[in-house]
Amino acid sequence: MTFEGVDGPFWAAAQEGRLVVQRCARCGSAWWPAIERCGDCGGGALAWSEVAPEGRVWSYAVYHRVFDPRLEVELPYAVAAVELEAGVCLPGRIVGPLDGLSVGAEVDAEFVPLDGSVLGPVWRLRAEAGS
């Protein structure tokens, strides 16, 4: 599978179960969504690097309606804004039990079919230590 567009490397890595983020090699700015030119320094030294597949829930929304018929989801479903150590914040579905879903909760990425057969990251709440 090949992926066109400025975020192509993100999707290509996702097919291999890897989470990557785009950063400017010159000024260090991290961008999401992907960008074709660093807006901060004007540099063209944008590169993708692999990061740990983990993050924290910055906030979340729980959908009780399917708005787009192409979405294959069971209701209700939760979508979080997941903040990564790298500084970007990604949208992502929460899978598994939602007990404990809260702002600040730690989550780990898994890669599942997200759009047809295209794999993408979803997030599972990390079990409490000792639980």
Partner 1 sequence: MGARHDIAIVGIGATRQGEHPQTTAEALAAEAAELAIADAGLDKGDVDGLITCKSIQGGGVDLAVGRLLGMSPPYSQTLDYGTCNFSLHLAAMAIGAGLAETIVLTYGANARSATVNFGARAPQLDLAGASGLVHIAGPAALALRRHMDLYGTTEEQFGWIAVGQREWARRNPMAVFRDELTMDDYLAQPPLVAPLRRADLTMRSDGGAGLVVTTAERAAALPHRPVHVLGMAEQSALREQFDLRNVMRPWITSVADRLWSTSGLRPSDVDVLYIQDPTAVWVLQMLEYFGFCPVGEGGPWLAEGHTRVGGDLPLNTNGGQLSESYMWGWLHLCEAVRQLRGDAGDRQVAGAEVALYCSTQGFSKGAASLLGVAT
Binding footprint of partner 1 on the chain (CB under 8 A): 3, 5, 7, 10-11, 32-33, 39, 58-65, 67-68, 70-71, 73, 76-77, 79, 81, 83, 88-93, 102-104, 114-115, 118, 120-122
Q: How far apart are CA 56 and CA 54, in angstroms?
A: 7
Nearer of residues 11 and 46 to partner 1, judged by Cβ: 11
Q: Would you say 59 and 103 are in contact if contact means Cβ atoms under 8 Å apart?
A: yes
Nearer of residues 69 and 130 to partner 1, judged by Cβ: 69
Q: How far apart are CA 128 and CA 50, in angstroms?
A: 26
Nearer of residues 70 and 130 to partner 1, judged by Cβ: 70
Instruction: Find the angle CA(22)-CA(25)-CA(28) to the nearest 5 degrees.
Output: 75
Non-local CB neighbours of 45 within 8 Å, separated by 6+ positions: 24, 25, 26, 38
Nearer of residues 88 and 130 to partner 1, judged by Cβ: 88
Non-local CB neighbours of 63 within 8 Å, separated by 6+ positions: 73, 75, 76, 77, 78, 79
